[in-house]
């Protein structure tokens, strides 16, 4: 697994030495990180959580769901295409922001990362942004409760595995939701009934 680098440790120290607000956020990040990564740690759950989290790499699971929906659901093909595009845009924008900000992944002594990652960059979490973009954009097409449960589990898995701070996933979730609201504005609410406006309705 990835080991903390001197640069990652220096980045954490810089956050803790920043202004009052930045220091409070960093301290809260550390408290929540310890609670999830250490206090909730169950050794036999690491492997399944790692496998689940890997399905979100590069937004793969969500793009796959969108692609299948686009192919199979001809009636709502346009909605599926827009929703899937929202996931892709969220992922690409997140990657650009992450490269621009350059925050390093967690480097906590005694709590090594439990999963290999493509890069050492952390903020915002692309898993969280793509997952919450999918939850919002796909919700007119699929039941929203399991979508948001899956998105939340995907985001929290990143902290559980030690590869993100809580603020990374919070920022990613916000970014993904905002992108989906822009690209797929019908997301977030169930599709309306397909009954034609002029169809007869039985009277009571």
Task: Give the tokens for residue 75.
Answer: 């009636």
The Cα 164–Cα 28 span in angstroms is: 13
Rg (CA), the chain: 19
Q: Cβ distance 3 to 105 under 8 Å?
A: no
Q: Cβ distance 133 to 177 under 8 Å?
A: yes
Predicted pLDDT at 188: 58
Predicted pLDDT at 142: 96
* Average pLDDT per 10 consecutive residues for the chain, totaling 204 residues: 52 62 81 91 94 96 97 95 97 96 88 90 96 97 96 96 95 97 76 43 42
Q: Cβ distance 162 to 112 under 8 Å?
A: yes
Q: Cβ distance 136 to 62 under 8 Å?
A: no
* CATH class in words for 11-183: mainly alpha
Q: Cβ distance 190 to 140 under 8 Å?
A: yes
The Cα 6–Cα 9 span in angstroms is: 5
Predicted pLDDT at 156: 96
CB-based burial label for 122 (10 Å; 0-12, 13-18, 19+): buried
Task: Give the tokens for residue 3.
Answer: 């080991």
The Cα 162–Cα 28 span in angstroms is: 15
């Amino acid at each position: 697994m990835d080991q903390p680098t001197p640069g990652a440790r220096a980045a954490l120290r810089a956050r803790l030495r920043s202004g009052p607000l930045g220091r409070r956020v960093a301290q809260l990040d550390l408290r929540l990180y310890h609670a999830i990564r250490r206090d909730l740690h169950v050794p036999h759950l690491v492997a399944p959580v790692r496998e689940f989290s890997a399905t979100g790499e590069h937004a793969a699971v969500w793009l796959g769901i969108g692609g299948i929906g686009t192919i199979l659901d001809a009636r709502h093909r346009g909605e599926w295409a827009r929703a899937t595009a929202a996931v892709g845009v969220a992922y690409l924008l997140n990657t650009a922001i992450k490269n621009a900000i350059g925050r390093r992944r967690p480097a906590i002594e005694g709590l090594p990362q439990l999963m290999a990652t493509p890069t050492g960059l952390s903020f915002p979490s692309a898993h969280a942004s793509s997952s919450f973009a999918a939850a919002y954009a796909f919700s007119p097409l699929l039941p929203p409760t399991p979508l948001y449960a899956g998105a939340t589990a995907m985001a929290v898995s990143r902290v559980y595995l030690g590869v993100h701070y809580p603020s990374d996933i919070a920022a990613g979730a916000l970014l993904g939701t905002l992108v989906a609201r822009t690209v797929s504005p019908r997301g977030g609410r169930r599709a309306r009934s397909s009954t034609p406006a002029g169809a007869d309705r039985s009277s009571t």
